[in-house]
Structure 1
Amino acid sequence: MSEATDARWPDGLLLAYYGDDFTGSTDAMEAMSAAGVPTLLCFDVPTPELLARFPGVRCVGLAGSSRGRSPQWMDDELPRAFASLAALGAPILQYKVCSTFDSSPDTGSIGRAIDIGVRQMPGRWSPMVVGAPRLKRYQAFGNLFAAVDGTGYRLDRHPTMSRHPVTPMNEADLRVHLARQTPREIGLIDFVQLASPDAAARLRTLQRDDPPVVLIDVLDEASLAAAGRLVWEQRGAGVFSASSSGLQYALTAHWRALGLVPASPGLPVAGPVDAIAAVSGSCSPVTAGQIRWARENGFRVERLDLRRALDADTREAEVERAVQVSIDALSRAQSSLVFSAEGPDDPDVLGFDDIAACARLTRAQAARRVGEALADVMLRTLERAAVSRVVVAGGDSSGEVASRLGIAALSVAAGMAPGSPLCRAWSDDPARDGLEIALKGGQVGAASFFGSVRAGRLLE
């Protein structure tokens, strides 16, 4: 497909995606919305009735929870989800993954998701774009890097991801990492090949009837736009792509070069509110710093006692205790934050296996129960306190909380930290319709993130 014939959008949707967790799903929505591509994120398979309420939408997402699930769960659940999205007719169907590629053969297998998803689209290749410079993620010769506080790390040496409690990254070469999860052929368009006039010819040598995964390096804005051009021009009759929001950033960079989206992307700015309610199930050091900031800057910060929250005899009392703390704070126009852990070295994180064992739960069951407890805290807080803006930190926690709130869909209301916009909830429940919610991944945001959400603008 030549650039001359590519310089216009097809009718209908441009992209449909399934997010492997809720925070990543809003990250992808933000990337498209900021570029001027109207996007809707659904919490269940989008129905014609729901989509009819948003006639201008060009991208539709479905928020999922597969990042923490088994391959068997994927076999049972993803075919229906992918088929429903493919039926919407977008030329690109995406399995949206985290930009730190969280996955293993047993948990959140990206390889298994690809093997399921390629059946839904006719393409002879499956592009993979993981690098996203705006999120400080970079891929070179197939190896993934991430920057923290201005210092770049190969993923297998990253201070958080190399120590992730469920899916630690012990291999930065994504070809090697992914090969542990799928027998599918895996190719690469590296940044040198991408910059050459022969990138499309190189791609054609990799294409097969049984579609291979083809990783595309992204190091900077130039390679980002080049990756977007390659995917868009070589999409054919439709492709399936397991990619981070780097795919959204790449496509919109290419569309911007063609003049299809505004030259200066941006999102509205939110106004301040007196107080917000927040819960956090994140174990990351970034979130730990944000919890400390909140404690030092006027938030009522309260730890959820995991032993009591996971014990069937004391769970109700512990959840109710945390709810009451939150409600008391909000009644004084003081923001509240209930958290389950404060960084990877928190004693409850280091001793989580023992805590789970005492509750007669597996580690995975216990982790899900923590998310459920935080969901109950947020749900009951919203039922009893006048609060219009909330935050949930942690990918798994966000899924548990958001799915319990009776929300049908989200759209972007305002910009916040890169990767975590302030969203507007759409719901048939008047009490939830219009709720403002930010879903924050563990690695997202400055120390003042919770304060920024309260202020409706980024704080220094």
Structure 2
Amino acid sequence: MDDLLLAFYGDDVTGSTDAMDALARSGIETVLFLDPPNSEAIEREFPDADAVGVAGTSRSMTPATMNDALPPVFESLAALDAPLVHYKICSTFDSAPDIGNIGRAIGIATDIFENDAVPVHAAAPPLGRYVIFGNMFAEDIDDVYRLDRHPTMRDHPMTPMDESDLRRHLSKQTDRSMGLVDVLTVDEGLEETRHELVETVREGAEIVFLDGLDDDHLRTTGGVIWETYGDNRDEPSFVVGSSGFQYALADYWRAAGIVDRTPEFDSLAPVDQLIVMSGSASPLTAAQIDAALDAGFTGVRIDTANLIDPETADAARERAFEDALNALDRGDSVVLYTAHGSDDEAIEETKRRAREAINPPDNVGEFIGDEQGALLRRLLDRTEIDRVCVAGGDTCGHVTPALDVYALQTRFPLAPGSPLCTAHSRTGRFDGIEIALKGGQLGGTDYFVRVRDGTDAWE
């Protein structure tokens, strides 16, 4: 596939649509697959693709699972012959030694790719993610916080961030040597930044972080990585980063004349009804639920504590289905949710029931996600609704397979990192359905309302 500019693997579904969105906003034709594609399949069904991604789940994998799951994916992406293969991580660097280990992913990649070092591009200013002197800062609803003081990431249930220095954080996941090209150097421009990157590697760094604070920095760092690791190389190179790397590459490609297209999106018309399926406990998602309720949505709580107990599961499952279906039959839009913010009492109650119930699920999170996927499928089978929204990275990873989705493309860039997508499904009912896949911390407070009401403008 000589025409491909980039191949990428996203460590969760919403992170993957975030990466696709960043490229689509620059007119770069991008297709996101749920399983690794081969060249023949891409050329047959998506012949105009400039970039190809795979939506994965490694953010929730143990290192042992990654050892089994990632090598065949990386080998498949390398076989597409794109100059760069990008391991797309969460914009807040979600990871820990025992779950979503980025260091382990780098270790696996070094057995497949021939980089002299792995560049790490974590900054994503369009999403409010900044890296300065190796430390990450991230926006929340009301302010920008150092990552270890961020209201959500500080208390994240799976990967709490107690360190903002990304080198120190990653050092708990790998013993590879690390270096940094800091913001003062990046401020000097492309040539000085590239020189510093080369020198840092020459001095022994196996992993090199690049700072980024604004769009000018992105253009510089994108150009440095492209010119050093992507352009005119015989073998694909491996890069780690958030969707900020896609923004950086696209910006540099436009400036360098490698890509010269104006993105075109048909306006987003309103729909009469929308189903929102939320598995996110973030404060921002809670605010989005409140805004939807204020705008006339009917709220349906999914009783997760009873759902995970075999003795009460059937009743909880049917109650959520009937409550949602009744609201839809009345003509309402519906937001189904498992939690209303990180301090929702249902979270602790679900944990307690998981400890006390007889034969609870082995993995509560996966079980609830699968239940949400099955519930959404049942509701769609009973209605003619053709636009839905799913909130929460892990939830999206369970819902899309439930709808037999095998590929996604951007339909409308509704909010940075949270596009409305067109789904390609193996089941006719769901093929062509419009689906917004939103990470817990992304989108404005009116995001669910905008998905329903449509818009002519994109941010």
Residue 78 (structure 2) pairs with residue 86 (structure 1): yes
Q: Does 2:276 correspond to 1:278? A: yes
Letter in 2 for 1:381: L
2:254 equivalent among 253, 256, 268: 256
* Residue number in structure 1 paired with 2:300: 302
Residue 324 of structure 1 is matched in structure 2 by 322
| More divergent stretch after superposition (404-413 vs 254-263) | 254-263
Q: Does 1:45 align with 2:39?
A: no
Q: Who is 1:403 aligned against?
A: 401
Find the counterpart in structure 2 of residue 16 from structure 1.
7
Q: TM-score, normalised by structure 1?
A: 0.94
Q: Residues of 2 paired with 1:134 and 1:360: CA distance? A: 47
Residue 240 (structure 1) aligned to one of 234, 238, 241: 238
The offset of 1:263, in angstroms, is 7.5
Could you tell me which amino acid in structure 2 is paired with residue 108 of structure 1? G
CA distance in 1, matches of 2:401, 2:57: 10
Residue 366 (structure 1) shift: 1.1
1:160 CA drift (Å): 0.7
Distance in 2 between the 1:362 and 1:261 partners? Answer: 52
Per the alignment, do residues 362 and 313 of structure 1 end up closer, same or farther by CA in structure 2, a change over 3 Å counting?
A: closer
2:447 equivalent in structure 1: 449
Counterpart secondary structure, 2:363: helix
**What secondary structure is seen at the aligned counterpart in 1 of 2:290?**
helix
Once the two structures are TM-superposed, the CA of residue 100 in structure 1 deviates from its matched residue by: 0.4
Distance apart, 1:112 and its partner CA: 0.7
Counterpart residue identity of residue 83, structure 1: E
- Code of the residue aligned with 2:330 in structure 1: it is R
Residues 82-136 of structure 1: per-residue CA shift (max 9 Å, x gap): 1111111111111110000111000111111111123222221211111111100
1:435 maps to which of 433, 438, 442: 433
Where does residue 172 of structure 1 map in the other structure?
164
Q: Which residues of 2 match residues 31-430 of structure 1 at below 5 A?
A: 31-51=22-42, 52-196=44-188, 197-207=191-201, 212-235=206-229, 236=233, 237-262=235-260, 267-359=265-357, 365-430=363-428
| Paired AA for residue 13 in structure 1 | L
Report the secondary structure of 1:272's partner residue: coil
Cα displacement string for residues 135-187 of structure 1 (whole angstroms, at most 9, x for unaligned residues) = 00000011000122352110000011001011100000000000100111111
- Asked if structure 2 preserves the Cα contact closer than 8 Å seen for 1:146 and 1:158, the reply is yes
CA distance in 2, matches of 1:297, 1:18: 36
Alpha-carbon deviation of 1:255? 1.0
Q: Name the structure 1 match of 2:17.
A: 26
The answer to whether the Cα contact below 8 Å between 1:306 and 1:355 also exists between their aligned partners in 2 is no
Indicate if the aligned counterparts of 2:2 and 2:82 stay in contact, CA closer than 8 A: no
CA–CA distance in 2 between the matches of 1:365 and 1:30? 31
For residues 351 and 150 of structure 2, what CA distance do their matches in structure 1 show? 23
Q: Secondary structure at the match of 2:98?
A: coil
SS in structure 1 opposite 2:138?
strand
d(CA) in 2 for partners of 1:265, 1:128: 27
> Aligned-pair distance for 1:331?
2.2
Mean CA deviation greater in 234-243 or 110-119:
234-243
SS in 1 for 2:163: coil
Q: Is the 8 A contact 2:418 2:439 kept in 1?
A: yes
Counterpart for residue 6 of structure 1: none
AA in 1 matched with 2:276: A
2:430 aligned counterpart, secondary structure: coil
Deviation, structure 1 residue 379? 1.2
Deviations 1:242-277 (A, max 9, x none): 110011000011112113334765644311110011
Which residue in the other structure is 1:5 paired with? none
Contact preservation (8 Å) 1:412, 1:422: yes
Listed as ranges, the gaps of 5+ residues in structure 2 are none
Q: Secondary structure of the residue that 1:24 maps to in structure 2?
A: helix
1:205 to 1:192, Cα distance in 2 relative to 1, 3 A: same
Equivalent position amino acid for 1:86 in 2: A
Rounded to whole Å, the distance in 1 between the matches of 2:171 and 2:349 is 32
Distance 1:31 1:151, change over 3 A: same
Calculate percent identity across the aligned residue pairs.
43
Work out the CA distance in 2 between the residues paired with 1:110 and 1:217: 18
TM-score, scaled to structure 2: 0.94
Relative distance call for 1:168 and 1:318 in structure 2 (3 A) is same
Change (3 A) 1:360 1:210: farther
Unaligned stretches of 5+ in structure 1? Answer: 1-9
CA displacement at 1:206 relative to structure 2: 2.8
Identify the residue that residue 3 of structure 1 maps to in structure 2.
Answer: none
For residue 17 of structure 1, report the CA deviation from its aligned partner: 0.8
For 1:162 and 1:455, how far apart are their aligned partners in 2? 34
- 1:353, 1:363 within 8 Å by CA — same for their partners in 2? no
AA of the residue aligned to 2:320: A
What is the Cα-based RMSD across aligned positions, in Å?
Answer: 2.1
Is the CA contact 2:308–2:360 (under 8 Å) kept in the aligned structure 1? Answer: no
Q: 1:264 to 1:364 in 2, by over 3 A?
A: farther
In the alignment, the residues of structure 2 paired with residue 404 and residue 363 of structure 1 have an alpha-carbon distance, to the nearest angstrom, of 19
Question: Does the aligned pair in 1 maintain the 2:6–2:83 contact within 8 Å?
Answer: yes
Given that 2:32 and 2:407 are in contact with CA atoms closer than 8 Å, whether structure 1 keeps it comes out as: yes
Please tell me the residue identity of whatever aligns with 2:9: Y
